[in-house]
Structure 1
Amino acid sequence: MRQSLLTVGLVLGLLGAPAARGATGNDPDWPCVQRLVPVLSAGSIWSGPALPADGSWRQEPKVAALVSAIAPRAVPDAEGVRAIEGFAAPLDAEARRRLLPMAVSGTLAETNRTRSGLIESIRGFARRQRGLAETVRQLSEQLDAMDPEAKGEAAARREELQQRLFFATKTFQDAERTMRYMCEAPVRLEARFGAYARAFQAALPEAP
């Protein structure tokens, strides 16, 4: 019972305290230790030609096919880098200068689209966790208000509350472990885009 009470205390400690969960900035729905980067930019790692912002990459079938192959979340970094190298290898210098910035633009757009969905899922998950923590608080208060020596129907009611509190607390704990995994996903996509951008950069021909 002591361990159960300690666990409930930890859950209640998180209620209404996003900073204790790692939320940063002014977004109370961001529960992750990792810094929130809502939108990725190529500016910090891309020093090649300006990236087209008009979605023209979609009009180039080979570029669109490359982006479709490397942008899905499940694609490992190394596999995507190999696809980029294979795409660039047969292109002459002029084609590389024209097509590679398009491919970077498309990869960035698709990566941001996927990350945005993940970030919204994490925010929704955090809101549900706060609701579950509130449920734990209410059940705990109801349980505290009951006579621990009660008999008959009152004892049965107290046992029912204990069971509900146990399962609500366990559900919260299990979800916290899931959230820690979810919080890594946007960071992994950010790191993968960095690897892709470096591969595109390496494939660019030297300036004439």
Structure 2
Amino acid sequence: MRYRTVIVISLAITATIRLAHAADPRYPDWPCTQAKVPEISLAAVWAGPPLDDVMGKWKDDAKVSALVAKLAARRTPLEEAQKAITEYLNGASDKTASGKLLFAGLFESLNAQRSQVMNGLERITRKQREAADKIRSDTLALQALQGEASRDQAKIDELGNQLVWETRIFEDRRGVIKFVCEVPTAIDQRLFALARMIQQEIE
């Protein structure tokens, strides 16, 4: 029977969605196996001097803002980041104050990046849930059409092709989600590494 494979795949997809439950009921749309931590804790990444007096002020310094953007970008290798941090702080009149300002910028920027990624993941999860419902209803409709005494092959083909496309998009998104789930952890690790670099320079 034509479309038997796509029906089997579609039913498997909808069964998976029904069985999938968020690990933490507080975040029903969180799709990752990693626990959702909404924000990075400052105490978890920074052991240097208090930053209360510099939070938000880094944006007023064009040089710091440009350096924050460069260091926060994951495409900038950590070796290059270390060199840029050393050069910047060695040229500063007050190393500690400049280091605090730089890290405050990195902390705010990377936390914002992280929130953006996490919100995107939850948005995709909601789309996946909607897509699974559509796949489920289209699968049932296709099975009904195939069971009719006088089959309308044109309708069957149209719905069958639509279902193939829907399941392909669903599976592609699932692959993207799995990949993007690693990003918040990568941001955490980057921020921790940059914090250590700055602290070592100002100690």
Deviations 1:108-147 (A, max 9, x none): 0011111111111111111111111111000111122234
Which residue number corresponds to residue 50 of structure 1? 50
Which residue number corresponds to residue 4 of structure 1? 6
Deviations 1:82-129 (A, max 9, x none): 32122223346xx12211111111100011111111111111111111
2:188 equivalent to 1:187? no
**What is the CA distance between 1:76 and its match in structure 2?**
3.2
| Inter-partner Cα distance in structure 1 for 2:168 and 2:31 | 19
Q: Which structure 1 residue ranges, 5 or more long, are not aligned?
A: none
Residues 10, 135 of structure 2: 8 Å contact kept: yes
Which residue number corresponds to residue 107 of structure 1? 106
Q: CA RMSD in A?
A: 2.3
Q: TM-score when scaled to structure 1? A: 0.84
Question: Aligned runs of 1:59-70 on 2, under 5 Å?
Answer: 59-70=60-71
Secondary structure of 1:32's match?
coil
Secondary structure of 2:42's match?
coil
Which moved further from structure 2: 101-110 or 176-185? 176-185
Identity of counterpart residues, as a percentage?
28
Aligned length in residues: 200
**What is the CA distance between 1:29 and its match in structure 2?**
1.3
| Inter-partner Cα distance in structure 2 for 1:79 and 1:6 | 50
Instruction: Indicate how the Cα distance of structure 1 residues 23 and 2 shifts in structure 2: closer, same or farther if over 3 A, else same.
Output: farther
Deviations 1:168-207 (A, max 9, x none): 11110111111222222222111111110111111122xx
Residues 72, 109 of structure 2: 8 Å contact kept: yes
Deviations 1:36-72 (A, max 9, x none): 1211122113211001354122233433332122123
| Inter-partner Cα distance in structure 2 for 1:11 and 1:167 | 13
The one-letter amino acid paired with 1:59 is: D
Q: TM-score when scaled to structure 2? A: 0.86
Question: Aligned runs of 1:87-106 on 2, under 5 Å?
Answer: 87-91=88-92, 95-106=94-105
| Inter-partner Cα distance in structure 1 for 2:195 and 2:122 | 28
Secondary structure of 1:88's match?
helix
